[in-house]
Amino acid sequence: MEYRYKQLAIEYDAMSAKKKTSGAVSNDLFEDIPVLKRKWHAALKPGQSLPQYEDVMLGSLGRLADHVALLREEDDRLEITRSGRYVQQWLQNDGWDIPVESVSPDCATVLTEAAICAVTNCKPHLSTAYCVRDGMVRTYDVLALPTSSRWGRTLVGTYINERAGQYNLLDSIFSTTEDGVVSLATIRDSAGVPCDFQVVHHNQSAASLLKLSAVELQWRRLRQGGTMLGTADVLARLFAIVAHSGRDQFELDCDDRNLRLGVHAFGDIVSLTVSDVTALKRREASFRLLFDANPLPMGIFDTETGRIMKVNAAAAEHYGYDRDRLLGMTIWDLWPESDMADLDEAMERLTARDDFHREWRHYTADRSLIDVLAYGRRISYEGRDGFLVAIVDITERRKVEARIAHMAHHDGLTNLPNRELYQERLRQVLQPGASGNRSIAVFCVDLDLFKNVNDSLGHPMGDRLLQAVADRLRERVRGGDMAARLGGDEFAVILADTPSLNEASDFAAKLIQALSAPYEIDGHELVIGASIGIALSPSDGSTSEELMKNADMALYRAKEEGGGVHRFFEKEMDLRAQRRRDMEHDLRHAFAQGDFELHYQPLVEVATGTISGFECLLRWRHPEKGMISPAEFIPVAEDIGLIVPLGEWVLREACHEAARWPDGIKVAVNLSAVQFRSRNLVQVVVQALAQSSLPPERLELEITESILLAETEANLATLHQLRGLGIRISMDDFGTGYSSLSYLRSFPFDKIKIDRSFVKDLAQRSDCLAIVRAISGLGKSLNITTTAEGVETTDQLDWLRAEGCNQVQGFLFSAARPASEIAALLARFGPRASKAA
């Protein structure tokens, strides 16, 4: 641009010089202005603000008179009263006494301005006027000389003269545009047919764009060559345009540039504009590359109509449409009906924005829904306001996210909601107003005998069973209700709309029935049961935590009662739970304080009536509650894991005590199944024997069949190791529980202890006698000692002797007594005492 102005200035100077030498404007007149100014000053008399009109203007102007106009103020407006011929030509008006405002505005403006300034400042004022005459810009000096008339009026003598130098208006405009402008004259042959064109006019930009100097281009015939306009193709186009006096636009690619030619024919004169569109072309090529070849689906849609105006190959392929088919559609066609309100709202907002970035759902050609992220930018395309959109398909990402979210809230095995989702749902339905005034029932479900399946048939079978249980649960809940797996064989149900206690009870009963029906899995018919604890809101709690805790307590009660039943929460259960928590605390404290002691109950040989050993029984002397039964505290110690260190203490103490007894007197110590889980049981026993120096043959370990129910292989291995040390192993409480004979086959027990419940009714109940007889017979044939527990009467002793039982234990001889009383007991029932008897 700067170059253009410089060029303009040079052209102007050149023209000024030309005018001066050509004499188009009188050289002498260049001197007139200082002369007139001097004259005005010379005429100014002391004490006057303005010189007299006659002194300045009259009689002495001579040749300048043609260049002078006389202005005066008349009726509040400026009037030209007289004007010389030169001025009249300038004004294009030869009238006298005419208002200044009636002449052409370019003259009126400068005359008014000069006159006002001169009168206001009481001195000559020189202005410059630029006037356009015949397409030429001319510059005039306008000198206003304020004077006073004889009658006191102010008259302004105004001298006007053109300054040397004028320039062509169109030339100046053309010279400032970067586009080339060329005028061609059509050359016709003798037959009058156009055969060539000649450059008759052009601007500098045209020469630059056509890579010629201005001189080389001027008067050049196109067929002469040397320009890209002389090719056959361009000439053919120009001839065609001239033939119809029409217009056309086309592009020329040459070397490293792209030129766009706009052609307009006026008869035989052809006006040509040449624009450099190289940058534009490159932008278009980049756009094509980015758009057409982009692997991302892209398109342009009309903002107003939603019409799809352009798509790339990736879009056609991704959406599964033929490209033309896609171009005949609108973006509404891609949207699911359900999202239409969303689209309307989105479109409303789009019209006010230049770009957007949002998530939409689209239909593909096969009507499958995909999740897409659309990035849009407003563009103008084919004269329409549109949006260029790039699409990123995030369907898979959304699926994975949904899967992860599902997994975070569902149990992987059964696909039921997990504890977190269950609690969240419970919190939701408990919100004020969520379920009106209706009660909400929370069910804690625990499977009975599930552990057996897991232990006997393995975990995969256990898993299949849990899945089947989940299916049955799912079938029974609907709507806003929920069934969940909380972990292991623990499930839970929420009934969010439970009108009555009876209905909750009915539901629980039916659920137990459904879950207890046999399962057919991999050719196995499996039977388990279920126990349910129920808590209702608001009576049993108003928070999810309270309700779940209370339902759990009710479940505990149901389990305690043997399972297969449902129980509602009762306030009293809360007290029991509190008592239980107290006991756990007190147990830990008691162990730390050494509040436990061991008592010993004699084991008497039926044949001799002498003591052959003692069963070691744990006692807890509570500082406030007195003696607490092991039947009460051992299950709690097992639950909290205290039985492991406590059992170790029992073993060490019992061995230590027994080591002080006469040779051959054995000590029997009870082992809990939990002690087997600690995995260092053998080591603990070995240490107890070593520290006490008690021979292993004098130690008997009493186990219950529960040890053979869980982790059978590992526990059997432990038992074999213990027996390998020479320790005797007894099966306690035989006849209760499952009493599977296969246990007797799986391990060579040294002793079977017949549970005292059979001994108690031996004389009254034939079934008890039959069982005692069977167990004794079994012991005899397997060469296993049989010990009857709970013998309280001589009658019972007689029956047992008759049935061939080897050993007895019970209050008939003695209850369990502290170690300090052992000597007395031995004195009474000991081997020597018997001999004495």
- Point out which residues bind ligand LFPHGCPZ (CB under 6 A): 601, 615, 617-618, 629-631, 634, 650, 670-672, 732-733, 753, 756, 789-792, 809-811, 816
Question: In whole angstroms, what is the distance from residue 383 CA to residue 278 CA?
Answer: 21
Q: How far is the CB of 503 from ligand LFPHGCPZ (least distance, A)?
A: 42
Cβ closest to ligand LFPHGCPZ, residue 148 vs residue 796: 796
Quick one: tokens of 793? 């009467």
Distance CA 281, CA 259 (A): 10
Q: Which is nearer to ligand LFPHGCPZ, 278 or 687 (CB)?
A: 687
Q: What is the DSSP letter of 67?
A: G
**Closest CB to ligand LFPHGCPZ among residues 197, 596:** 596
**Is 533 or 735 the residue whose CB approaches ligand LFPHGCPZ more closely?**
735
Closest separation in Å from C-beta 643 to ligand LFPHGCPZ: 7
Q: What's the sign of the alpha-carbon dihedral 61, 63, 68, 70?
A: positive
CB of 808 to ligand LFPHGCPZ, least distance (A): 9
Ramachandran sector of residue 600 (left: φ over 0; alpha: ψ -120 to 50; beta: rest):
beta
Least separation, in Å, of the C-beta of 516 and ligand LFPHGCPZ? 29
Cβ–Cβ < 8 Å for 618, 650: yes
The two structure tokens encoding residue 313: 């190959």
Least distance from ligand LFPHGCPZ to the Cβ atom of residue 631, Å: 4
Taking the least distance from each CB to ligand LFPHGCPZ, the nearer of 131 and 674 is 674
Helix (H, G, I), strand (E, B) or coil at 665: coil
Give me the least distance between CB of 648 and ligand LFPHGCPZ, in Å please.
11
Neighbours of 373 (CB within 10 A): 14
DSSP assignment string, 730-771: EEEEETBTT--HHHHHHS--SEEEE-HHHHHTTTT-HHHHHH
Q: Which is nearer to ligand LFPHGCPZ, 87 or 617 (CB)?
A: 617
Nearest to 390 by CA among 481, 457, 294: 294
Query: Which H, E and C letters describe 149-174, residue by residue?
Result: CCCCCEEEEEEEEEEEEEEEHHHHHH
| Nearest CB to ligand LFPHGCPZ, comparing residues 486 and 650 | 650
From start to end of 93-179, where are the E strands?
A: 98-99, 125-133, 136-148, 154-168
Q: Smallest distance, Å, CB 557 to ligand LFPHGCPZ?
A: 22
Nearer Cβ to ligand LFPHGCPZ (481/732)? 732
SS3 70: strand
SS3 311: strand
Question: Helix (H, G, I), strand (E, B), or coil: what is residue 413?
Answer: coil
Q: How far is the CB of 646 from ligand LFPHGCPZ (least distance, A)?
A: 8
CA–chain centroid gap for 347, Å, is 24
Q: CB-wise, 486 or 808, nearer to ligand LFPHGCPZ?
A: 808
CB of 578 to ligand LFPHGCPZ, least distance (A): 24
Q: How far is the CB of 652 from ligand LFPHGCPZ (least distance, A)?
A: 12
Residue closer to ligand LFPHGCPZ (CB basis): 435 or 807: 807
Cα 122 → chain centroid? 82
Cis amide leading into 460 (omega within 30): no
Which of residues 671 and 752 has its CB atom nearest to ligand LFPHGCPZ in the complex?
A: 671
Taking the complex as a whole, the smallest distance from the CB of residue 760 to ligand LFPHGCPZ amounts, in Å, to 8
Q: Which residue type occupies 271?
A: S
Other Cβ atoms less than 10 A from the Cβ of 809: the count is 25
Question: Positive or negative CA dihedral for 52, 58, 64, 65?
Answer: positive
Pick 399 or 679: Cβ nearer ligand LFPHGCPZ:
679
CA distances for 49 relative to 71, 74, 158, 515, 688, angstroms: 18, 21, 18, 125, 140
Q: Which amino acid is at 455?
A: D
Going by the DSSP 8-state scheme, the letter that residue 61 receives in this structure is -
* Cβ-based nearer residue to ligand LFPHGCPZ, 198 or 793: 793
Distance CA(260)–CA(253), nearest Å, equals 9
Q: In the bound complex, what is the minimum distance in angstroms from residue 644's beta carbon to ligand LFPHGCPZ?
A: 11
Closest separation between CB of residue 614 and ligand LFPHGCPZ, Å?
A: 11
For ligand LFPHGCPZ, the closer of residues 536 and 590 by Cβ is 590
- Helix residue spans in 386-495 (DSSP H): 395-409, 419-430, 450-457, 459-476
CB of 593 to ligand LFPHGCPZ, least distance (A): 18
> What's the closest the beta carbon of residue 810 comes to ligand LFPHGCPZ, in angstroms?
3
Nearer to ligand LFPHGCPZ, 141 or 789 (CB): 789
Q: At its nearest, how many Å lie between ligand LFPHGCPZ and the CB of residue 451? A: 19
Taking the complex as a whole, the smallest distance from the CB of residue 796 to ligand LFPHGCPZ amounts, in Å, to 9
d(CA 540, CA 363): 51
How far is 563 from 555, CA to CA, in rounded Å?
9
State the Cα–Cα distance between residues 759 and 767, nearest whole angstrom: 11
> Which residues are 298's β-sheet partners?
390
Of 544 and 672, nearer to ligand LFPHGCPZ (C-beta) is 672
Residue 752 dihedral angles phi and psi, to the nearest 5°: -115, 130
In whole angstroms, what is the distance from residue 293 CA to residue 281 CA?
Answer: 17
Q: Which of 637, 711, 712, 718 is nearest to 681 (CA)?
A: 718
Q: Which is nearer to ligand LFPHGCPZ, 254 or 815 (CB)?
A: 815
Q: Which residue do the tokens 């094509």 mark?
A: 288
Inter-residue contact 309 to 301 (CB < 8 Å): yes
DSSP for 512-531, please give it: HHHHHS-EEETTEEE--EEE
For ligand LFPHGCPZ, give the closer residue by CB, 368 or 629.
Answer: 629
Query: 461: how many CB neighbours lie within 10 A of its CB?
Result: 16
Q: Shortest approach of ligand LFPHGCPZ to residue 396 CB, angstroms?
A: 57
Tokens of 398: 């959304």
User: CB neighbours (10 Å) of residue 214?
Assistant: 12
